[in-house]
Structure 1
Amino acid sequence: MEQKINIVFKAQQAYKYILRKNNAAQRIAKLRDLKSAIQKHEDQIYKALQSDLRKSAFESAVTELIFIYGEIDFAIKNLSGWMSPRRIGKTFSNPFAKNRIYYEPKGVCLIIAPWNYPFQLTMSPLISAIAAGNCAIVKPSELSPATSKVVHLIINDAFKEQEIACFEGKADVSTALLKLPFDHIFFTGSTEIGKVVMEAAAKNLTSVTLELGGKSPTIIDKNVDLTKAAEKIAWGKLVNSGQTCIAPDYVFVHERQLDEFVGLYKAAATKMYFKAEDKIDPKSYGKIISPKHFERLKGLLDEAVEQGARIDFGGTFDENTQTINPVVLSKVTKGSKVMEE
């Protein structure tokens, strides 16, 4: 695999000087080729997302495909303007010059994609790379293998390897790729792996874009409509079974409204994702990506409870289906890992 990676990388290093001369019409044609390939394999994308994350067709459309179709169309509409030189004012050091900013391709880009939105978060940076006139190597996540295979198929259908290539595999493939002197690396994933990517990039002075996880708070003012707040928080938290880097993780609510909020949140979650009061609907609610992630999340909850946290709603785990029902914790201690991960 490493030999093949090196061959493709060298081919892209040579081809980037040809590709950078492409005009807007040529780049737009490539974006349309990508869109056509996605449309051709759309049914396979839905099946892959169902296999990897048990995403419903509706959720896959809303959180994966519609974003990508919209982003391609937006790039096509605006690409000519993006490529045009931008006039800027004179400065003290060059008062008689005509000043322009010219936007140029980076060269050869590496895109390392995550597993939680395995189609959208692979294609989105790829669209930007194509629009900017770059070559790219894409590494989908091995934790979402069905979607990875479809991504590989789409890229092979739409592009030659010297322009856009896709390599599937485990961490050893990413390690081999990170040894190479890319012109830019785009990584989406955990902070822990983000540090590894940044360290590898530094050895080649490669610029990076790191889209890492966070711990997102939600603050509810005591004067807001609590029902609407609970409904929106429930959807934002539970879409993709909570596996979203910008999902609301914890809530600040007035203590006198805590019980009311928990009740409203439970009602919203039940309406969206349950067949009966205590039975999750697998047709609308997804699964945790892997047994390892399932055990990690269960461990965080168990530890929090041992340290004094209270389960106000949910807390049911099904190891066989990798399903964790929606959970609300209160009285969580500050040092608890569930407040850090």
Structure 2
Amino acid sequence: MSSNMDTYSDTLLRLRQSFQNGKTRPAQFRLAQLEALAKFLEENRTEMFQCLKKDLNKPSFEAEISELSMVKSEINLAINSLSSWMKDESVSRNMATYLDTAFIRSEPFGVVLIIAPWNYPVQLTLIPLIGAIAAGNCVIIKPSEVSQSTEKVLSELLPRYLDQDCFAAVCGGVEETSRLLENRFDYIFFTGNPTVGKIIMTAAAKHLTPVTLELGGKNPCYVHDECDIKNVARRISWTRFFNAGQTCIAPDYVLCSENIKEKLLKALQATIHEFYGEDPKQSPDLGRIVSDRHFQRVAAMLKCGKILVGGQTDQAEKYIAPTVLVDVAESDQVMQEEIFGPILPVLSVSGIDEAIHFINQREKPLAAYVFSSNSQIVYDFLERTSSGGFCANDGMMQTTIISLPFGGVGHSGMGMYHGKFSFDTFSHKRACVIRSDGREKLNDVRYPPYSDSHLNFILSMTEVKKKGSCVLL
């Protein structure tokens, strides 16, 4: 057995003993750990900005709004709401249980594993951790080894702030993660791509471990003829090129009619120049691809179709210019894989019906976008498509409201989190009934010898009756 395996086993044993001893159960303990997490965030802000810059050349503006600020809001919401989240939830009862107490209790699963990705390495590690802490679990976090600098901060500094009998961080790549997954966890939360998601789910199945899988997908963006082209171009460009396009909810391709395609392409070209200047490589507001391997994968997609805007690369800097592609074939690599880079293909459709058919022929995406000043078109698109999240006339904004759940559907994932949804994800909803040990006479009707009169009485006390009438058409 490897030393890593020994370390994992020892760590798991320590955490499991702490959980079984009830250390994480009290609200005061959970609040203290959340406060400690907030302290970590505040005291290491500068270092995290530097790490994000080093890993992804992430502008401080983007790092603040998409990493640190989001985590801070989640911590504050959890602290503010924990007492209400932890309360037992009363439920309605039937006549047979009218004198009983019935409620749902949220209880922690136990020892949770959180495997985080590299593209938003702070946010996508810490927001699930907040939910797991709030729900009363012990946690092992596995930051991505691809974002090396941020991984080091999270694995080395964060454990100093949290109770090390209940929380741990582990490092490593594919081999180490595979060994880690051989252990039994009580819940696994994974953010990544569908290919690895299947591996995670297979490993979890060996122990019947429940999972949340936050995966990606090719997020469609339909631009209707009735729209403000300039606004559309600005909003699509910002969401596509934010974090150098390495965003799981970024629009992955645009569908529009030939009627407005030329106007949209010109507006996209003008917007890219407005945002990033004559030479985007010199812009302080454009990130870089995270690694040489990812650079080569994304750069290969530039061979698809025709480059209308951008296309410049610099492997030494892992730089790819904001790029718009046209004349792309559906069979091209750029339309078969999630791009995860600053490339935007624009395809033609005859109208909304063809756009929806195009979208529905593919796997369900993590997000779907529609741009139109016609509300009927917006709601038609919403009604006839399916995706993890949806936003009309903008991109990514659905993830900024933490009272909304974040999660995929089908190929783009399962489960949800953010805000109270994070607490619920990491909580087992335990059905509880407390009855009196007396009043036995009331139970006589359920005991043998059975009779029709007793059966009819029980059914009258327990069955839910239909209200009103139903007309079949």
Same fold, TM-score > 0.5, yes or no: yes
Report what 1:294 is aligned to: 295
Q: Which amino acid aligns with 1:260?
A: K
**1:330 deviation in Å?**
1.6
> Is residue 2:94 matched to residue 1:98?
no
Among candidates 137, 140, 143, match of residue 137 of structure 1: 140
| Matched positions, count | 334
* TM, length-normalised to structure 1: 0.94
Structure with more contact order per residue of length (Cα contacts < 8 Å, sep ≥ 6): 2
* Shift in Å, 1:93: 6.8
Q: Which residue of 1 aligns with 2:124?
A: 121
Q: Does 1:226 align with 2:229?
A: yes
Is contact 2:233-2:264 (8 Å) kept? Answer: yes
Please report how far the alpha carbon of residue 21 of structure 1 lies from its aligned counterpart in structure 2 after TM superposition.
Answer: 5.8
* Match in the other structure for 2:247: 244
Q: Report the Cα offset of residue 94 of structure 1.
A: 4.1
Write the distance in 1 (CA, Å) between the matches of 2:216 and 2:24.
Answer: 36
Flag structure 2 segments of 5+ consecutive residues without an equivalent. Answer: 338-473
Larger deviation, residues 204-213 vs 262-271: 262-271
Post-superposition offset of 1:161: 2.7
Q: 1:177 aligns with which of 174, 180, 198?
A: 180
The answer as to whether partners of 1:20 and 1:105 remain within 8 angstroms in 2 is no
**2:162 matched residue in structure 1:** 159
Partner of 1:61: 64
Q: Which amino acid aligns with 2:201?
A: M
Query: In structure 2, do the counterparts of structure 1 residues 248 and 93 end up closer, same or farther at CA, with 3 Å as the change threshold?
Result: farther
| Shift, 1:222, TM fit | 1.1
How far apart, in 1, do the equivalents of 2:91 and 2:239 lie? Answer: 41
- Tell me how far 1:322 sits from its aligned partner: 0.4
Number of the residue aligned with 1:201: 204
Give the aligned CA root-mean-square deviation in angstroms.
1.5
Give the Å deviation of 1:98.
Answer: 2.5
How far apart are 1:172 and its partner, in Å? 1.7
**Deviation at 1:96?**
4.5
**How far off is 1:135 after superposition?**
0.3
**Percent of aligned pairs sharing the same letter:** 37
Determine the C-alpha separation between the residues in 1 that align with 2:273 and 2:95: 64
- Cα distance, 1:215–1:20 mapped onto 2, change above 3 Å: farther
Match of 2:19 among 5, 11, 16: 16
**Structure 1 unaligned residues grouped into runs of 5+:** none
Alignment of 1:336 with 2:337, yes or no, is no
Pair 279,237 (structure 1): closer, same or farther in 2 beyond 3 Å: closer
Number of the residue aligned with 1:254: 257
**Does residue 285 of the first structure (1) align with residue 286 of the second (2)?**
yes
> How far 1:301 sits from its partner (Å)?
2.4
Q: Conserved in 1, the CA contact under 8 Å of 2:55 and 2:148?
A: yes
CA contact (8 A) 1:8 1:161 kept: no
Shift of 1:108: 0.3
Residue 313 (structure 1) aligned to one of 309, 316, 330 = 309
Q: More displaced, 198-207 or 95-104? A: 95-104
Please give the secondary structure, in 2, of the residue aligned with 1:187: strand
Tell me the residue number matched to 1:213: 216
The AA in structure 2 aligned to 1:293 is H
One-letter code of the match for 1:113? A
Note the C-alpha offset of 1:279: 4.0
CA distance in 1, matches of 2:50, 2:154: 13
Q: Distance in 1 between matches of 2:333 and 2:11?
A: 42
- Classify the secondary structure of the residue corresponding to 1:35: helix
Q: Which moved more, 1:216-225 or 1:105-114?
A: 216-225
What SS does the corresponding residue of 1:102 show, helix, strand or coil? strand
Q: Which moved more, 1:183-192 or 1:259-268?
A: 259-268
1:150 partner amino acid: V
CA contact (8 A) 2:23 2:29 kept: no
CA distance in 2, matches of 1:75, 1:67: 12
What code does the residue aligned with 2:308 have? D
Query: Retained in 2: the 8 A contact 1:221–1:253?
Result: yes
1:54–1:282 contact (8 Å) kept in structure 2: no
Cα distance in structure 2, aligned partners of 1:164 and 1:100: 30
Q: Tell whether the 8 Å contact from 2:24 to 2:137 is kept in structure 1 after alignment.
A: no
